[in-house]
Structure 1
Amino acid sequence: MVIRYDAPLNLLVSTKGHPFDTPAFFGMFDDMRGMTWTHVEQPATTALMSPEGASDFDALLFYDVPGLQFKTPKPPLLIEPSETFKTGFRGLLDAGKPMIFLHHAVAGWPLWDEYAEAIGTRFFYQPGTYKGRDYPDSGYLFPVEFTMTPEGDHPVTKGLEGGFTLTDELYLMDMLEDDIVPLLRADYAFEQDNFYSAANALNARMWTRDGWSHGPGTNLIAWAKKAGNAPTVTILCGNDASTYGDANFRSLLRNAIDWVTSDAAADWARAA
C-alpha cells in the first residue's frame, strides 16, 4: 500500500470492538480516489482524540464500539471514557472537526451521554438510560433486504435520488435527539415483531425476543447533525462485504466524506 502524502484529503478510520471483514472494508477506502486514509484501532484512537492529535486529518470516521467489553453470556462490562478523552472529544467538536459514524459505531461509549448526543442516537446492547430516561435494549435483524430513499435534496445523497436496495443489518432503536437532518429512510416496518433482542443475544440466546419490549423505532438510515461546531453524518448500514462492495453504498459514503469536509458543511455547522 502506497502512503499518499500528497493526497488532498486525509481520513482517519477508527475500528475495533466489533468483528468485520477487514480486507473488504479497507479495500473500499483503497478504491476511493482523491483521498488517503489512515487506520487506527481502539484504544489507541483515544490518543488522537483532541484538536492537536487529529490535526493531520481532515475528517474522522468511526467504525468502532469503544466503552464495552463483551462477556457473553454475561452482561457486557461498560467503561466510561477518561476525562482526557472527554476533554479532547469536546475540543474536536468545538473546533469543527468533521465526523462520520458508521453502522455499529452508534453503540460506542454507552456510559457517556455526550457521545450519543453528538450522533443523535444510541444502540443499547442492554437496557440503559440517556439523560435520565430509561430505554430498553435495542433490536437487530440480519440479513434483510430493504430499499433506502432520500428525503429532501442534500449533497450526501447526490446521484442516489431514485433510492437503492441493500441486504444488510437493520437496528430497532430510537432517535435520542431531534435536531437532525434526515437523509435516507428505509422501507421496512421497524417494529418489535420484526427484530430480535440485543440483550438476549448477549446472553447467548441469538434470534429471540422473549421478555423483551420495545416500541416502534426510527426508519432513518442516514442523517446529518451539527455537533458543537462540527458537521457529522451517521449511516446505519455497513455490516459486511456485500455492502462495502455495493456501488451505491460507496457513493453514499464518499458523498458523506466529501460533504463533511466541505466549506458549506463547516459554515452550516457553525451557523447559529
Structure 2
Amino acid sequence: MTKTLLVLSGGHPYEAGPFAAFLESLGDWEVTHYVHPEAEERVAAGAADNADAMLFYDMPGYTFADGTVKTAAPSPGFKAALERRFASGRGAVMLHHAIAGWAEWPQWSEWLGGRFLYQPGPVRGDMKLDSGYRHDVDYRAELVAEHPVLVGVPATFPVNDELYLGEVFEDDVTPLIRAQHDYVAANFYSAAHAVAGRMFDNSDWPHPPGSNLVAWAKPIGAAQMVYCQFGDGPHTYANPVVRRVVANALEWTAQSYGRSA
C-alpha cells in the first residue's frame, strides 16, 4: 500500500529544485506538496486528515515589508484540521523555520516545543527578546538519546547549516541531537535587527545563552512530533545523515498512528 506524505512550505524562501530532490530522498512516499496560502486552505478543507505522514517546512503568518513585520493567526478551519489530525494519532515532522510559524497562535509553539521570535514578545507569559540566527555554521551534531529517529545515525556527524538562538521548552521535549556550538549572543545576530534592514548585527541585543538542542521529539495529543532545526538550504538538504534523520522521523511519526508513544 502506498504511503502518503503531505508537505507544506511557503512564508520563507528556499530553492525549490534542491528541496524537491531532498523530498525524493526521504523514502517511497506519494508526496503532495502545497505552498501557502494554498497550503492553509487545503489543510482546512481536509488535506491533512488522512495523510500517513506530514512535513512542515513553512513559516506562515508573517508579512515583511519596509523594515516591519505584520503577523496573523491561521484560520479556524486550519486550526481545527490540525487538532483533528493530532487527536487521531497522526503525527508530523517540523523542519527548520517551522519553529517561527504562526506568531499569533501560541498553540503552535506549544505543540512544537519552542519558538523563534522575529520581534521581542511574550512566550509562556514572560517577555523575551527577539531570537538569533547565524548562517553557514560548520558544527558537529551529537546524538544524546537512543530513539527510533536515530537508528543508523552516527554518534556525531558534520553539518553546515543555519543555527537559531531562540526559545526551546527543554522540560517538555525528548532531546535527540545537540549542536557542538556555543549558544551565546556573540555567536548570533538579532532577528529584529534583520527585519529592520540591519543584517548580521548583534549590537544592543543582550540575548541570554540558549539551548543547543537541534532535534527533539514530543507528543501532541495522541500523536508524535519531531522537530529538526536542520534545513536552511541545498547544502543541508544533500547531507546524507540529515536525510536519514528526517526519513526516520517521517516513518516514526507515521507509525505512531494507532499506538501509544
- TM-score, normalised with respect to structure 2: 0.95
Q: Is 1:46 equivalent to 2:27 in the alignment?
A: no
Corresponding residue number in structure 1 for 2:23:
29
* Structure-2 separation of matches of 1:52 and 1:19: 26
- The residue identity in structure 2 corresponding to 1:193 is A
Shift of 1:114: 0.3
Check 1:89–1:30 CA distance in 2 against 1; reply closer, same or farther (3 A cut): same
1:90 corresponds, among 73, 83, 94, to: 83
Corresponding residue number in structure 2 for 1:78:
71
Q: Is 1:102 equivalent to 2:104 in the alignment?
A: no
Shift of 1:105: 0.6
1:148 corresponds, among 119, 131, 141, to: 141
Q: Is 1:19 equivalent to 2:13 in the alignment?
A: yes
Corresponding residue number in structure 1 for 2:189:
196
Single out whichever of 40-49 and 162-171 deviates more from structure 2: 40-49
Structure 1: which 5+ residue stretches go unaligned?
A: 1-5
Shift of 1:177: 5.8
Shift of 1:174: 1.9
Shift of 1:132: 2.0
In the TM superposition, 1:110-129 aligns within 5 A as 110-129=103-122
Shift of 1:211: 1.8
- The residue identity in structure 2 corresponding to 1:109 is W
Q: Is 1:69 equivalent to 2:66 in the alignment?
A: no
Corresponding residue number in structure 1 for 2:157:
164
- The residue identity in structure 1 corresponding to 2:230 is C
* Structure-1 separation of matches of 2:217 and 2:129: 25
Structure 1 runs of 4+ with >6 Å offset: none
* Structure-2 separation of matches of 1:104 and 1:93: 21
Q: Is 1:60 equivalent to 2:60 in the alignment?
A: no
Check 1:152–1:32 CA distance in 2 against 1; reply closer, same or farther (3 A cut): closer
1:249 corresponds, among 229, 239, 242, to: 242
* Structure-2 separation of matches of 1:48 and 1:36: 17
Shift of 1:148: 0.7
Single out whichever of 214-223 and 83-92 deviates more from structure 2: 83-92
1:216 corresponds, among 209, 220, 235, to: 209
- TM-score, normalised with respect to structure 1: 0.91
8 Å contact from structure 1 (residues 49, 85) kept in 2: yes
8 Å contact from structure 1 (residues 231, 268) kept in 2: no
- Give the CA RMSD over aligned residues: 1.6
Single out whichever of 86-95 and 167-176 deviates more from structure 2: 86-95
- The residue identity in structure 1 corresponding to 2:24 is D
* Structure-2 separation of matches of 1:138 and 1:84: 29
- Give the percent of matched residue pairs that are identical in Structure 1 and Structure 2: 36
- The residue identity in structure 1 corresponding to 2:253 is V
Shift of 1:266: 5.2
* Structure-2 separation of matches of 1:177 and 1:53: 31
